[in-house]
Amino acid sequence: MGKQMTEMLKGTLEGIVLAIIAVQPAHGYDITARLRERGFTDIAEGTIYALLVRVEQRGLVDVEKVPSEKGPPRKVFTLNAKGHDELEEFWRTWSFLAERIEQLHEGEK
């Protein structure tokens, strides 16, 4: 992944993760796997775990500890009402930016 992609992703990764959790509650490794399935192959698990700590501290998710077959219980993250509001704001902002960027792009042709 190039430097420009990495920088752009930093600003959008939280919204992307919230969107993934909105579809189905998940634990950190599962979220990382879903991202990789969607082509985000260079995102480190540590990046996702740090992001999950932040969204939990901000009160955007509910967390349930679920027993694991391998080791300690896993934290399963579910988007709560505040998280849904944050995700809606993310999509509004994304749409606004995407439309303006597309207009600029079309203007170059």
Of 96, 97, 82, 94, whose CA–CA distance to 21 is shortest? 82
Using one digit for the tens of pLDDT, what is the confidence trace for 18-30?
A: 999 999 999 999 9
pLDDT category at 45 given cuts 50, 70, 90 is: confident
Kindly tell me if the per-residue pLDDT of 5 is higher than 90: no
What are the residues whose beta carbons fall under 8 Å from the beta carbon of 12, sequence distance 6 or more? 90, 94
The H or E element that residue 56 is part of is helix 45-57
If you search the block for the tokens 């439309």, which residue do you land on? 99
Contact 34, 96 (CB under 8 A): no
